[in-house]
Structure 1
Amino acid sequence: MRHLVYIFSILFFSFTASAQNSQKAKELLDDVSAKVKSYDNIVINFTYSLQNLKQNINQDSKGNVTLKGNQYVLNLMGVTKIFDGKKNYTIVPEDEEITVSKHDDNDTSALTPAKMLTFFNSGFKYSWDILQNVKGRQIQYVKLTPINTKDNRKEILLGIDAQTKNIYNLIETGKNGSKTTITVNSFKTNQPISKNHFTFTQSKYPNYYINNLD
């Protein structure tokens, strides 16, 4: 009988600790979301890394993104993506081609740059992970596990600066063995940007082929 009581006690305390860790993780993510919403705009310089040993893939690239509400301008791997709030513009200088498409508000699975700082608000189980010292900064990691079993992502580690409550990095592990890492090199807020910053100007690309998907 004492043995059973001991086992149930361990299970109870383990469950309680797990629930408390999950709540701590959720509260930290809520703090991150609140900070993001408090900014008028955000300018991020980042490093993007993709690795898959099975497929012999090892890519590294630097990029930058400017965000304001759901609007954004993203520069990565020689491609510029603009979303003005209604349409997406993908500009590929190498091919001198621009693809134009409408934004689908019902497509909740699309992870746009605007969602990168808030995607974790739903669809995941949360757990408190390690605290790491990165060049004097205390980075607290939160593990996100997709609730949907059909999700191709196995887990995501979100590194958060414990002091500023800003995201430092994101490490996504796929079920196919791929590992995607996005590391924030600089995070600036409320920058002076022009009112036309998120406006696509076709006259800047006189010789480009325009591919309208809609």
Structure 2
Amino acid sequence: MKKPIYIAATLAVLIISAALPGHTQTDAAAKSLLDKVSKTYEAYKTIQADFSLTIKQPQQAPHAETGKIAMDKSAGKYYITTGNQDIISDGKTQWMVLKDVGEVQVTEVSPTSDAVSPTNIFSFYKEGYKYVSAADERTGSRQLAVVELTPEDANAPYFKIKLRVDERTYQIHDVTVFDKGGNQFVYTLKNTKANPQLADNRFVFKQTDYPDMEIVDLR
């Protein structure tokens, strides 16, 4: 699997819809924290943030990459960009631009699909998880509350997700995905802006922006 596609797949692991139904084997403190995080992000119609991704693999040097994300949650529109790829959606169609291979993959967005969606990257604890509080941690001057989530599906490609939340703002600081191959994927969110003005044309693929790329229509 090529790295740009794999990075998109790890991003997708984080993108799970946000509601907090009752679960077994969870604790009240974890649920209270997740309720506050969910309430924070549900108040945003549009959102924009920078993020960094660090991939840690056994016996290899960490690989780091940075990117930006913007979304109009109400319309299901999003734009994600990294050094190797862009992902653009107008809510109906998704364009995945694989810069390394000179290819644009076009797919439909299914609102009824159980597949993960970039429109929900800032929430992430719906059905299918057990969660428990862990000891608070600090990064610089920030106090971070920690929740660890485990998938109820034994066939999931990852066995744990660690979520750290800034207790001053109830915004997500970072998320670490632990996969079964011993790899870790750490997403850190920075410069989160609530309700920025976002132009509609930002969420539409323009072929003139990507000259000489092959368009592969998978719809």
TM-score range relative to shorter protein:
0.7 to 0.9
Q: Distance in 2 between matches of 1:26 and 1:141?
A: 12
SS in 2 for 1:196: helix
Instruction: Check whether the contact 2:25–2:130 (CA below 8 A) recurs between aligned residues.
Output: no
Q: TM-score, normalised by structure 1?
A: 0.83
Does residue 24 (structure 1) correspond to residue 11 (structure 2)? The answer is no
Q: Is the Cα–Cα contact under 8 Å of residues 29 and 121 in structure 1 kept in the other structure?
A: no
Task: Name which of 143, 157, 162 aligns with 1:157.
Answer: 162
1:7 alignment counterpart: none
Partner of 1:47: helix, strand, or coil? Answer: strand
Quote the residue 2:110 is aligned against: 104
Which has the greater radius of gyration? 1
The aligned amino acid for 2:118 is: P
Q: Deviations over 1:126-159 (max 9, x none)?
A: 1011111222111100010111111121111100
State the distance in 2 between where 1:88 and 1:80 align: 10
Instruction: State the superposition RMSD in angstroms.
Output: 2.0
Report the equivalent of 1:80. Answer: 86
2:62 pairs with 1:61: no
Mapped partners of 2:125, 2:210: distance in 1: 37
Task: Return the alpha-carbon distance in structure 1 between the equivalents of residues 216 and 41 of structure 2.
Answer: 34
The percent identity for this pair of structures is 25
Q: Which whole-Å CA distance do the structure 2 matches of 1:85 and 1:20 have between them?
A: 36
CA distance in 1, matches of 2:208, 2:157: 40
User: How far, CA to CA, are the matches of 2:119 and 2:61 in structure 1?
Assistant: 27
Equivalent in 204, 209, 212 of residue 204 of structure 1: 209
CA distance in 2, matches of 1:20, 1:120: 14
Q: In structure 1, list runs of 5 or more residues that go unmatched.
A: 1-18
Bigger relative contact order, structure 1 or 2, given CA contacts below 8 A and separation 6+?
2
Work out the CA distance in 2 between the residues paired with 1:205 and 1:183. Answer: 28
**Structure 2: tracts of 5 or more residues without a match:** 1-23
Paired position in structure 2 for 1:188 = 193
Alpha-carbon shift at residue 104 of structure 1 (Å): 3.0
Q: How does 1:110-125 map to 2 (within 5 A)?
A: 110-125=115-130
Corresponding residue pairs, total: 194
- Give TM-score scaled by structure 2 length: 0.81
Match of 1:3 in 2: none
Q: What amino acid sits opposite 1:77 in the alignment?
A: G
**Whole-Å Cα distance in 2 between the matches of residues 78 and 212 of structure 1?**
20
Contact in 2 for aligned 1:169/1:181 (Cα 8 Å) = yes
Contact 2:53–2:185 (Cα < 8 Å) also in 1:
yes
SS at match of 1:32: helix
Amino acid at match of 1:91: V
User: 2: distance between equivalents of 1:57 and 1:153?
Assistant: 21
Alignment-derived partner of residue 13 in structure 1? none
User: Are 1:91 and 1:98, in contact at CA under 8 Å, matched by a contact in 2?
Assistant: yes
Please say if residues 111 and 119 of structure 1, whose CA atoms lie closer than 8 Å, have aligned partners that are also in contact: no
